[in-house]
Homo-oligomer: A and B are copies of this chain.
Amino acid sequence: MSADPALRREIPDATVARLPEYLRTLSRLAEDGVPSVSSEELAAAVGVRSAQLRKDLSHLGSYGVRGVGYDVETLALEISRALGLTEDWPVAIVGMGNLGHALASYSGFVTKGFRIVALFDDDPALVGERVVDIAIRPLAELDDKHAVDPISIGVIATPAQAAQAVCDRLVGAGISSILNFAPAVLSVPAGVDVRRVDLSTELQILAFHAQRKALAAGHLGTAVVS
Contact = CB atoms under 8 A, between A and B. Distances in A.
A32 interface: no
Interface of A: 1-4, 7-8, 11, 16-17, 19-21, 23-25, 45-47, 82-85, 87, 89, 91, 97-99, 101-103, 105-106, 108-109, 111, 113-114, 152-153, 176-179, 183, 185, 187, 191, 193, 195, 197-211, 213, 215, 222-223, 226
Contacts of A1: 226
Given A87-B211, A99-B102, 14 more contacts: A2-B222, A2-B226, A7-B223, A20-B200, A46-B185, A98-B102, A98-B106, A99-B106, A108-B199, A111-B200, A114-B203, A114-B207, A177-B206, A193-B209
A24 B183 contact: yes
A121 to B, nearest CB: 15
Contacts of A210: 84, 89, 152-153, 176-177, 193
25 contacts: A2-B222, A2-B223, A2-B226, A3-B222, A4-B222, A8-B223, A16-B205, A20-B201, A21-B185, A23-B204, A83-B204, A83-B207, A83-B208, A84-B208, A85-B207, A91-B203, A98-B102, A108-B183, A108-B198, A113-B207, A114-B207, A153-B206, A176-B213, A177-B209, A177-B210
